[in-house]
A and B are shown apart, each in its own frame.
Chain A
C-alpha cells in the first residue's frame, strides 16, 4: 500500500474517518492535536466525534453535561473533565438530591489536629472495634472498613493509636482483602514499638500465609517480614521457606525480599536456615524475571555484608561475578523490567571479561540497550561500555562515538532536570575527550528558555570542547549570550570566552571580541572583561599594546566590583609606562582611599602605585606618599603590613625594592586546574551516579557509614601505616609530603586568584622559605598528634617494632594489563611518598627502558611506561614469592629535580611498607652498576 503525504490516508470506512479528522470548529489545529497528545485513549471519543451525553442515562444529567461541554469541548482534558464532573455532581446533589449524598464521614472532617481531645475518639474507636470483632452479621465488613480507615488516617497524622492494637488484631479475622491490607499496614507500623503485642499478630499472619489466594499469601508474608521484631524471627523461617517455593510468582517475589529483611533483623537466622543458597537456586532457575532480579539484589546485599565474616561468603560473592552467572543474566536481560535491567548492567560492570573477544560479545549483546526508551538503562549501558573498553584505546574511542547520539537524544528529550543529569555525564566525557565532541558543539548552544543551571553547564561544555576548528563559531555564539538579557548568563559567557582565549594559541580574534565587550558600556560586562583581560595579559604579554589602548579609555569610576577594580589597578601598575595618565588615575583612586571598602583593592593599589613609582618616579611621588600613609594607617592587617613593608623597603634600598616589587616576569603558561586528574578519574569510575552531577567523588559528599567498603578500607590503610611504621620515619615523610602538597596548592591558589599573586608570588621566595622552615620545625609534632588522635595510647617514643619478615618476590610474576587496571582501580593507595633519587640513577635514565631492565633484575616487572625527559612515568607490579599477593606501583620520576613519586597499592596492606622499602632500595641501586 502506497502512502501519500496527506494528513491521513484512510483505507476503509471513510465516513467515520471523515468525522474524526476534519472537525469543523474554528480552532482547527487545537482540535486536531488534542487527541494526539492525550494520553488517555478512552477520552478521545468524547472530544472528537461522539457527544459526551451518550454515556449518560437520565435527561437532567444529559442537558447539564452538554451545557458544560459546550464552551470547552475542544480543549477539555481528562483532568479538567473529571474536575468538571465533580463540580457537576455536587451541584446536582445540592439541587435536588437525586444522588444519594453518602459522602465519606472520615474524609469530610479530615485532618484533625493531634491533640488531647482526640483521646476520647480513639477510645471510642476501640469500643466500636470491640463490638464488631465477634460479629458475623452481614455488612460488618463495611463498617469495619470505615473504622479501619479512621484508625489509619489517625495513624498517618501522628495520633497515637497503639491502644487499639489488640482490637485491630481481633477484627482481622476476615476474608476481605481491603480490610486485610489496612490491618497489615497498621500492624507493620506498630509492631516495632510493641514487640509484646506483635506476638498476637503472628498467628493470623501465619494462617494467612497459607491462604489459597496468592495475593493474601504475598501480603501476609510481606507484613510478617516487616514486623522487625528480633525475637519473632523464629516464626518467620517457616513461612519464608514455603514462600520461596510457592507456585505463584508474586509470593516468591515477596519472599525473596523477605529473606533480605530477615537478614537485616537477624543475619545468623537467615544464614542458618540456608536461605542464601535457596535464593541462589531460585535466581538461576526461576521463570519469573522479577523474582530473579529480587534474588540478585538480595544476594548481592547479603553476601557483600557477609563477606567480611566468612570465607565462604566472599567466595559466593565472587561467584556472582563468575562467567556463567553473568552470561545467564545477559541472555535474559530483555525480559527484565527497566530497574532490573539496571541492576544486571551494574553487575556486569563489575565483571572482568577474560579477553577482548568476550568484551565484544558482551557489547554486541547489549548494543540495543542503547536504544532503550529508559534513560537509566541507556546510562548504565554506557557506563558498562566505557569500563569494558578502558584498556583498548581505539575501541574506547569508538564507544565514545557510538554513545554520543543516545546521550544527545536523552538531553533533548525530557525535563530540564533530566537533561541536566545527562548533560553532567556528557560534560565529564567532553572533558575527557574534547576532540571527539568538537563537531557537536551546536548541541550545547543555550536556548532562551532553559533554566540557569542547564545554561551554565552548557557554557562549561562549550568552553571545554573549543578547539581550533570550532573556536570561531563558539566564541560568536558566546558573544550573543554576553548581550543577553539574563545577567548571570552574560557574565558566565564572558568568562567562558576568556577561558577559551587562555586555552587557545590563536587568540587574535578573541582578544578583539573581548575588547568589543569593553565598548558595550554595561558595568557588569566591563567588570568581567577587565578580569579576563588581566589574565590574558599575564599569559600573552605580547597583546599589551592593543589591550592597554582600550583599557586606558575606561574610566575607573565606571568600575565598581572589587575584582574588576583590582584587575584594572593591576594593569595600571603593570603597564604604567604605556598608559599616559596611569599616575593620575592612581592618584585619584588613592584620594578615595577611605571609600574603598575592599581590602583586595587597597592591596593592589599599594602595589600598583609602587610599580608606577619605580617607573615614573616624579609623577607618582606624591601619590606614593599618600598611599603609604593611608596604608600604614589602615585598620586591615594585611594592608597595613604591606604598606609598612614597602615603606621600609624603600627606606632600605630603592634598587632592592625594584627587584622585589617589579622583577622581570615570565608569562604564565598554564593556569592551575582546580580539580586534579585523580579526582576526575575517580568521578569517571563512578559514572552513572550522583558523583557526576555533583562533580565530586562520592567520598566527598557521603557520610562515612554510607560509604562503600572500598573507601573505608583506604582510610584504614592510611591509618595502619601510621601505626605500624617502626620509627615514625615514614609517617613524618608522608606528612612532609602532604605539607608540601598543601603549600603547593595554596601557592597555586594564589596564582589563580589574581593579580596580587603576580606581585607577591614572584617577589616572595623568602616567604616560601620561611614557611618551609616553619613546617620543618613543626613536622615531628603533628605526627605525634596523629598518633594520639588515633587513640592507641602509643608512647611518644615508640618501641622499635619487630621488624617484619624479609619480603621475597616472585621472580616470574605475571599480570595482564586489564587485571592490573582493574586492581589499580579497586585497591586503595597504601603508600604514597616522595623519594629523591641518586644522581647516577638519574643520569642513567635516558630512556624508560634502562630502568625497566634494572627493575626486572629485582623481580619488579613493568607493565607500562612512558614520557620523555625530564618526566617519566612507570607502572610496575610484583608478586610475593609464596602467595599470589600483588603489589602495584605508580612511579613518576622527574629527572630534572631527581625526585621520584611513588604510589603503592597492595593486595595485602600489611606488607606494603616492606615492599616500599624494597622498591626504594632497588631504585637506589639503579645506575650504580
Chain B
C-alpha cells in the first residue's frame, strides 16, 4: 500500500486487513449501502504494534498450524540422460491460525543441506545463526516463512521407481519452431497424447506404471527439402511428487509456546518440477 507515494506496508496480512478482498459479504454490503470502496476506514492496529506483521488480539476457536515444504526442481538433462544442471528451490510455507501472541520454534533434522536461505521478517536471526533454529512469531494465515536453495539431490543414485506410484508427470514438446509441416502421428503406450492447435504436443503420462516404461513414438513430416533434422527440440517435463521433499530436508520439530490450549500441528511435503527440461 502506497501512502502518498511512500510505501506504508507490504505485509500481505496487514494489506488484507486494510483492503477487504472481494468476498461475498463485502459485495452484499456494497450493494446494500452503495459504498463500493474496499478500503477500510481505520488503520489496522498492527501498523503501530511492535510486531507489525501480526494482528493484535487474535482469537481462533480452532488453533491450528500447518507447515508445508514445497520444492521445485530445476534441472537440465542432456540427450545421453546425464544430469547437466540440477537445483532445488524450496519454500517453507506456514498456515497459522493461532490465538494470542504465540512463539514458534521450528527446527530441521538436517539444516546443513541448505545452500542459501531467506527469511520472512518475523524470523529471528540469532537462533538461526547459532543453532539453525527458526524462531518466530507468525503472522496470521498463510505466509512464506523461508525460502531456500539446495544443490543436494536426494534422488541421485536411487531408484526412480520408488516414487513412481506417487509421481504424476506430463511432457510438453513444442513443434512450432521446428521446420515441421502440420503432420504428426504420435502414439504412446501410456497416457494420452494431444497435439494442440499451437503445434505443441502434450503428453500426459499420469501416474507412472510400475511394469513398463512409458514411451511415445511416431512420425513427423518435415519440410520437403530437409534431409535431416538439424535442430534439437527440448522436452519440458512437469511432475509432482507428494509427500517427498527431494532435497531430503526434514522438519525435526515444531514447538509452540505462549498458547492457551494445545493446537493442531500438521506437516507435509511436495516436490514439483520447476524448469525441468530434457534435451534431445
* Partner-B contacts on A (CB < 8 A): 1-3, 5-13, 16-17, 21, 28-29, 32-33, 35-42, 44, 55-56, 78, 82, 85-86, 89, 99-100, 102, 104, 107, 142, 177-178, 215, 222, 249-250, 253-254, 257, 288, 290, 294, 337-339, 368, 371-374, 378, 405-406, 408-409, 412-413, 442-443, 445, 447-449, 477, 480, 483-486, 520-522
Q: Which residues in B have their C-beta under 8 angstroms from that of A486?
A: 177
* Cross-chain contact A408 with B149 (CB below 8 angstroms): yes
CA distance A257 to B7 in the complex (A): 13
* Cross-chain contact B267 with A3 (CB below 8 angstroms): yes
CA distance A605 to B16 in the complex (A): 71
Given contacts A1-B253, A40-B21, contact A483 B89 (CB under 8 A): no
CA distance A928 to B145 in the complex (A): 72
Choose among B21, B232, B243 the residue that contacts A6 (Cβ–Cβ < 8 A).
Answer: B243
* Cross-chain contact B147 with A485 (CB below 8 angstroms): no
CA distance A99 to B269 in the complex (A): 45
CA distance A341 to B23 in the complex (A): 35
Q: Which residues in A have their C-beta under 8 angstroms from that of B120?
A: 373
Instruction: Say whether B250 faces chain A, with CB atoms less than 8 Å apart.
Output: yes
Q: How many whole Å from B268's CB to the nearest CB in chain A? A: 4
CA distance A447 to B276 in the complex (A): 9
* Cross-chain contact A372 with B129 (CB below 8 angstroms): no
* Cross-chain contact A409 with B21 (CB below 8 angstroms): no
Choose among A1, A29, A38, A253 the residue that contacts B142 (Cβ–Cβ < 8 A).
Answer: A38
* Cross-chain contact B70 with A17 (CB below 8 angstroms): no
CA distance A372 to B147 in the complex (A): 10
CA distance A623 to B231 in the complex (A): 39
* Cross-chain contact A445 with B149 (CB below 8 angstroms): no
A-contact 0/1 string along B128-166, CB 8 Å cutoff: 010000000000011010011100000000000000000
CA distance A28 to B251 in the complex (A): 24
Residue of A nearest to B87 (CB): A412
Q: How many whole Å from A863's CB to the nearest CB in chain B? A: 38
CA distance A521 to B227 in the complex (A): 11
Residue of B nearest to A101 (CB): B31
* Cross-chain contact B277 with A56 (CB below 8 angstroms): no
Instruction: Say whether B12 faces chain A, with CB atoms less than 8 Å apart.
Output: yes
CA distance A107 to B144 in the complex (A): 38
Given contacts A6-B243, A412-B149, contact A178 B264 (CB under 8 A): no
Residue of B nearest to A52 (CB): B24
* Cross-chain contact A448 with B236 (CB below 8 angstroms): yes
* Cross-chain contact B93 with A3 (CB below 8 angstroms): no
Q: How many whole Å from B82's CB to the nearest CB in chain A? A: 11
The list of the 9 closest CB pairs from A to B, nearest first, reads A405-B116, A41-B141, A368-B125, A485-B177, A82-B22, A7-B243, A447-B275, A7-B268, A409-B116
Can you report 22 residue pairs joining A to B where beta carbons are below 8 Å apart? A1-B254, A3-B251, A3-B267, A5-B243, A7-B242, A7-B269, A11-B265, A12-B264, A13-B264, A32-B242, A36-B93, A39-B12, A40-B142, A337-B7, A371-B125, A412-B87, A413-B89, A442-B85, A443-B87, A445-B76, A483-B232, A485-B234
Q: Which residues in A have their C-beta under 8 angstroms from that of B129?
A: 368
CA distance A11 to B265 in the complex (A): 6
CA distance A483 to B228 in the complex (A): 13
Q: Which residues in A have their C-beta under 8 angstroms from that of B266?
A: 8-10, 17, 21
Q: Which residues in B have their C-beta under 8 angstroms from that of A29?
A: 168, 240, 242
A-contact 0/1 string along B233-247, CB 8 Å cutoff: 110100010111000
Residue of A nearest to B97 (CB): A41
* Cross-chain contact A413 with B147 (CB below 8 angstroms): yes
Residue of A nearest to B280 (CB): A483
CA distance A449 to B276 in the complex (A): 10
Given contacts A13-B264, A38-B142, contact A405 B27 (CB under 8 A): no
CA distance A6 to B242 in the complex (A): 9
Query: Which residues B1-22 have CB closer than 8 A to chain A?
Result: 4, 6-10, 12, 16, 21-22
Q: How many whole Å from B72's CB to the nearest CB in chain A? A: 9
Task: Give the interface centre of A41, A86, A102 by most chain B CB atoms within 10 Å.
Answer: A41
Q: How many whole Å from B74's CB to the nearest CB in chain A? A: 7
Choose among A12, A339, A408, A483 the residue that contacts B7 (Cβ–Cβ < 8 A).
Answer: A339
Residue of B nearest to A10 (CB): B266
Interface size class of B (residues with CB under 8 A): 35 or more
CA distance A28 to B206 in the complex (A): 11
CA distance A6 to B62 in the complex (A): 23
CA distance A61 to B168 in the complex (A): 38
Given contacts A409-B149, A413-B147, contact A56 B24 (CB under 8 A): yes
Instruction: Say whether B29 faces chain A, with CB atoms less than 8 Å apart.
Output: no
CA distance A522 to B227 in the complex (A): 12
Residue of B nearest to A406 (CB): B116
CA distance A111 to B243 in the complex (A): 52
Q: Which residues in A have their C-beta under 8 angstroms from that of B12?
A: 39
CA distance A41 to B4 in the complex (A): 29
Given contacts A7-B242, A82-B22, A371-B117, contact A104 B275 (CB under 8 A): no
Q: How many whole Å from B123's CB to the nearest CB in chain A? A: 9
* Cross-chain contact B31 with A100 (CB below 8 angstroms): yes
A-contact 0/1 string along B106-130, CB 8 Å cutoff: 0001000001111111000100010
Instruction: Say whether B41 faces chain A, with CB atoms less than 8 Å apart.
Output: yes
Given contacts A7-B268, A41-B141, A85-B24, contact A371 B119 (CB under 8 A): yes
Q: Which residues in B have their C-beta under 8 angstroms from that of A104?
A: 34, 36
Q: How many whole Å from A542's CB to the nearest CB in chain B? A: 31
Instruction: Say whether B57 faces chain A, with CB atoms less than 8 Å apart.
Output: no
* Cross-chain contact A55 with B24 (CB below 8 angstroms): yes
Q: Which residues in A have their C-beta under 8 angstroms from that of B125?
A: 368, 371
Q: Which residues in A have their C-beta under 8 angstroms from that of B192?
A: none
Q: Which residues in B have their C-beta under 8 angstroms from that of A10?
A: 264-266
Instruction: Say whether B259 faces chain A, with CB atoms less than 8 Å apart.
Output: no
* Cross-chain contact A409 with B118 (CB below 8 angstroms): yes
Task: Give the interface centre of B74, B231, B250 by most chain A CB atoms within 10 Å.
Answer: B231
* Cross-chain contact A36 with B118 (CB below 8 angstroms): no
Apart from the given pairs A3-B253, A7-B243, A448-B277, 19 other A-B contacts in the complex at a CB distance below 8 Å: A3-B109, A3-B252, A11-B262, A16-B62, A29-B240, A32-B270, A33-B272, A89-B31, A107-B36, A294-B6, A337-B10, A338-B10, A372-B121, A412-B87, A413-B147, A443-B87, A445-B84, A447-B277, A485-B231
Q: Which residues in B have their C-beta under 8 angstroms from that of A1?
A: 253-254, 265
* Cross-chain contact B6 with A39 (CB below 8 angstroms): no
Instruction: Say whether B37 faces chain A, with CB atoms less than 8 Å apart.
Output: yes
Choose among B23, B62, B142, B148 the residue that contacts A39 (Cβ–Cβ < 8 A).
Answer: B142
Residue of A nearest to B254 (CB): A1
Residue of B nearest to A477 (CB): B84
* Cross-chain contact A372 with B118 (CB below 8 angstroms): yes
* Cross-chain contact B230 with A521 (CB below 8 angstroms): yes
Q: How many whole Å from A215's CB to the nearest CB in chain B? A: 7
Task: Give the interface centre of B12, B24, B87, B254 by most chain A CB atoms within 10 Å.
Answer: B24
Choose among B85, B234, B267 the residue that contacts A9 (Cβ–Cβ < 8 A).
Answer: B267
CA distance A389 to B125 in the complex (A): 24
Residue of A nearest to B207 (CB): A28
Q: Which residues in B have their C-beta under 8 angstroms from that of A32?
A: 242, 270
* Cross-chain contact A257 with B6 (CB below 8 angstroms): yes
Q: Which residues in B have their C-beta under 8 angstroms from that of A254?
A: 4
CA distance A362 to B109 in the complex (A): 32
Given contacts A294-B6, A483-B232, A484-B231, contact A8 B267 (CB under 8 A): yes
Q: Which residues in B have their C-beta under 8 angstroms from that of A408?
A: 116, 149
* Cross-chain contact A480 with B7 (CB below 8 angstroms): no
Q: How many whole Å from B35's CB to the nearest CB in chain A? A: 8
Given contacts A412-B89, A485-B233, contact A406 B118 (CB under 8 A): yes
Q: How many whole Å from B135's CB to the nearest CB in chain A? A: 13
* Cross-chain contact B48 with A249 (CB below 8 angstroms): yes
Given contacts A5-B269, A483-B231, contact A142 B178 (CB under 8 A): no
* Cross-chain contact B270 with A36 (CB below 8 angstroms): yes
Instruction: Say whether B59 faces chain A, with CB atoms less than 8 Å apart.
Output: no
Instruction: Say whether B95 faces chain A, with CB atoms less than 8 Å apart.
Output: yes
Instruction: Say whether B189 faces chain A, with CB atoms less than 8 Å apart.
Output: no
Choose among B23, B37, B95, B147 the residue that contacts A82 (Cβ–Cβ < 8 A).
Answer: B23
Residue of A nearest to B76 (CB): A445
